[in-house]
Amino acid sequence: MELPPALSSSSSSPPFTFSSRRIFLPKEDEFFEDGDIYRHLYLRDAITSVGEVERPKVSEFCCHIAGCSQLFDTLENYEHHYNTFHRNVCSSCKRSFPSSHLLDIHILEWHDSLFQILAAKQNMYICLVESCTEKFKASSDRKKHLVKVHGYPSDFRFDKPKKPKRNQKNQDRSPHDMDVETSNCQKETNSLFCQIAAESVEPVETMEAESPPVSEQENPSTLVQQRPSYSYRVPATICFGHGSVRGFKNPRKKK
Amino acid sequence: MIRGTGPGIRSRNRVCGVEEIKARRRQQERALRKARKEKQLVSKRLPRGLQGDGEEMEIRETSVTQEEVLQLYQRIQHGSDDRLAALRSLHQVLQLKEAQQMFVRFENSIRVLIGLFTSNLASVQLKAAQCLLELSHSDDPSISLVCLPATPYLLTYLSGQSAKFTELCLYILGNLAAENEAVRNQLLLQGVIQALAICLQSPHGAVVEAAAYSLSQMLQAKEAGEKIIPAVLEANLTPHLIRLLDLDSEFGMQTAVECAWCLHYIVSSGVNCECMISQNLIRQAVILLIALGKAIESGITTDGVELLIYPVARCLGNLIVSNGPARSKVQPHASDVLRALSTFTSRFLQSRPFVTRECLWLLNNLTAGDEQFCSAIFHLNLVPVFLQLIPFSGGINTLACVSFANQSGISALEAIQYNSNEEIRVRANYLMDRYFTHKAPRCLEMGKFLNLSISFPFWLILDF
């Protein structure tokens, strides 16, 4: 911080004049050092903060949504479950999505009968990044954009191609389902990834903005090669050509 | 790159003496100062309450073997009831730096963890998020940066409605943002600013606080002026930050503190602040300071209230430097602001001198060239308050002098007459003796230092 120069002790030096003035201090100024250090000590939890919040404890309870039987032992876990998997739910196919943006895109691309028609004439595939206003001709273009511009991984979980008409009866659970209390809503999402009749609609690439799909160990791409127990799973990005099954096969249903 | 070291793990097994704690704290401060001088000051946050399950987080061991970590890693890969238990243990163990190092080096461990983070089982997802938070909190970039592939998911989840999960994601993002420019660029490309804007409007206080914290990490960056602040202004984030500078807000002081820091970083970058002034920033800041001043005066103090005072004072101090609407907005509250500032300066002089110093800087900016403020100081009889500060070192005395010297001569004369008793003369002498004598000034120069127009009355005082 600049202050008026110190007094001169020599009698012949010109008289000092002080002028009052306002001083602007940029954030890196040395003047702010002590305050900044204090702030950082606070961040590191080294000093008391201004009030803490108590989180209440509860005993185990169950989700009350019909068909969902997950158990919880804290309110937060339950709240998280409810807010993540019972909100932003598509009324047509009952899939849930992490955000309303992704839900909207899903409804548009999956359940809007006009969508395909319009998509042929104009760019209808909206970018998944909410603040991005770009639109694309095809799902693949959108994926390229996500990777190139937004630095998304090519196996982004919420950008899976739409499966052709699926067999509704195929409700088998993967042998590695974790939870004994797997909910029906989870079963619904599982079925998506079960074997699909290949002869149906040609694999149109639309987005599958699925909420964390299938069961836990579901980890597309490189994971597959490392551990033999998951060798039946095929990364979504690999296509075996027209008419082949895309997605994740259930080993028990191998043809 | 040197960073200040963190406080380390709280081990309940070891008994820490008070001296040990103090020594550690001093060492930590030294490291932080050094880091700041080198412009490498990075700190991260890990609210302990967030990492519990509603139960105490016990750390039973202070060390762990590679075999133990490997076992946990294997257990979390198999879909079974055991997975959640293994995740819980992993989470505990990841508080240890050595365990973090071991874990991230296992093949595909991070992919597995991120996969669990996107699972559709709530408890698993939350636990995995807590693990990621521990990793992101590390001061070793080779550990924290492994969380980078999770950013698209983190940002996607910010639009969700699960409060605790969102809060976790925000702290992970904030910690990552503190790392380096490349990370911040990636986050910008993935829409972090707009995502934070949504979170700032959340009805959950913890989410708002976490969002403001993450934003402050973005704004603190060296490159913030060119890249981040324009984006923040354009995304119209500032009205939310300003609105939250409110003691009566349901979200509490901690949230206001984070918002104050965000605003300070924006204002002190030198950017044009007109839009923020029109969004009521001055009014909010002034009212807040006045309220805090009154609270302290009436004895209702909370620990750590200074955490809110000085970032707000910084905002105000820089905002009123230029002439214009900013200064006129403070005028109606002149007396109250001055009173609050005098409360702060005396209250924190001993315990937190930097607070006093920064308040005096604000005072300087308020009074410089401003007759109204100067006369207000005299009318409120605040001169003795500031004179008291003069003997103290550390830049405070020069500031007090400067503030004092900002006052116009005629008002000074009035004050001297009003206080034409022993007290002010003694104080003025003290001032001269303590501060000016060693520079062997002559009275004339001394008077000129203070102000031409008040040199005369000082001559009167000194003329014995």
Which run of H or of E encompasses A208? Answer: strand A207-208
Interchain proximity B189–A150, CB inside 8 Å: yes
Do the Cβ atoms of B341 and B362 come closer than 8 Å? Answer: yes
Task: Chain B: give the shortest CA distance to residue A86, in Å.
Answer: 10
Hey, which bits of B80-207 come out as E strands?
A: none
Given an 8 Å threshold on Cβ–Cβ distance, is B120 in contact with A215? Answer: yes
pLDDT digits (tens, 9 = 90+) for B265-304: 999 999 988 899 999 999 999 999 999 999 999 988 778 8
Q: Which residues of A touch B436 (CB under 8 A)?
A: 7
pLDDT at B406: 57
pLDDT of B391: 55
User: Chain B: nearest CA to A199, how far in angstroms?
Assistant: 30
Closest Cβ–Cβ partner in A28, A42, A151 for B307: A42
Mean pLDDT lowest among A91-105, A173-187, B390-404: A173-187
Most confident option among A75-89, B37-51, B214-228: B214-228
- DSSP H helical ranges for B298-420: 306-319, 325-330, 334-347, 353-367, 371-379, 383-388, 396-405, 409-418
Residues A47-58: what's their mean pLDDT? 52
Q: Both tokens of residue A184? A: 């029906």
Which residue, among A13, A38, A44, would best test binding to B if mutated, counting the most B CBs under 10 Å from its CB?
A44
Residue-wise pLDDT tens digits, B431-445: 444 444 433 333 333
For B20, residues 6+ apart whose C-beta sits below 8 A from its C-beta are none
Task: Choose, out of B44, B70, B120, B445, the residue to mutate when testing the contact with A (most A CBs < 10 Å).
Answer: B120
Lowest-confidence range among B185-199, B216-230, B342-356?
A: B342-356
pTM of the full structure: 0.73
For residue B321, list chain A residues with Cβ-Cβ distance below 8 A. 22-24
Rounded CA-CA distance B240/B245 in Å is: 9
Mean pLDDT of B197-223: 94
Supply the mean pLDDT for chain B: 80
- Say whether pLDDT at A201 is over 60: no
Local confidence band at B32 (pLDDT 50, 70, 90 cut-offs): very high
Cross-chain residue pair A216–B162, CB shorter than 8 Å: no
Mean of pLDDT values over B7-33: 72
Taking contacts as CB-CB distances below 8 angstroms, the residues of chain A near B194 are: 130-131
Nearest to B250 by CA among B278, B209, B286, B279: B209
Is the CB of A25 less than 8 angstroms away from the CB of B318?
yes
What ipTM was estimated for this complex? 0.80
Name chain A contacts of B205, Cβ cutoff 8 Å: 53
Residue with tokens 């750390």: B59
Distance CA B46, CA B256 (A): 18
Instruction: Tell which phi-psi region holds residue A51, choosing left (phi > 0), alpha (psi between -120 and 50) or beta.
Output: left
pLDDT at B53: 59
pLDDT of residue B423: 44
Alpha carbon of A67 to those of A71, B120, B461: distances in Å?
13, 15, 89
- Would the pLDDT of A50 be above 90? no
Residue of chain A nearest B263, judged by CA positions:
A27
- Give chain A positions within 8 Å (CB) of B36: 33, 36-37
- Residue count of chain A: 255
Q: Give dist(CA B202, CA B181) in Å, integer.
A: 28
The backbone torsions φ and ψ at residue B421, rounded to the nearest 5 degrees and listed phi first, read -120, -175
Q: Give the pLDDT score at A59.
A: 62
Long-range Cβ contacts of A242-245 (<8 Å, 24+ apart): A242/A202, A242/A203, A243/A198, A243/A199, A243/A202, A244/A198, A245/A195, A245/A196, A245/A198
CA torsion sign, A162 to A82 to B215 to A44? negative
Inspect the interface and report whether the beta carbons of B156 and A99 lie closer than 8 Å. Answer: yes
Name every chain A residue with its beta carbon within 8 A of the beta carbon of B122: 70, 72, 77-78, 80-81, 84-85
Q: Does pLDDT of A92 surpass 80? A: yes
> How crowded is residue B135: how many other Cβ atoms within 10 Å of its Cβ?
24
Nearest residue of A to residue B8, measured between CA atoms: A44
Task: Out of A113-117, A213-217, B321-325, B366-370, pick the least confident.
Answer: A213-217
**Mean pLDDT of all residues in A152-171:** 69
- Residue B59: the pLDDT is 57
CA dihedral for B267, B272, B276, B280, sign (positive or negative):
positive
- Give, for B176, the enclosing helix (H) or strand (E): helix B163-177
Which positions in chain A touch B220 (Cβ < 8 Å)? 27
Split at pLDDT 50, 70, 90, the class of B198 is very high
The more confident residue out of B309 and B394 is: B309
Between A220 and B189, residue with greater pLDDT: B189
Q: Give me the residue from B55, B118, B303 closest to A50, CB to CB.
A: B303
Inter-chain CB proximity A31 and B361 less than 8 Å: yes
Across the interface, do B268 and A77 touch by the CB < 8 Å criterion?
no
The answer to whether residue A127 scores a pLDDT higher than 80 is: yes
Residue with the larger pLDDT of the pair B460 and B85: B85
More confident residue, B307 or B419: B307
Q: Is B152 exposed, middle or buried (0-12, 13-18, 19+ CB in 10 A)?
A: buried
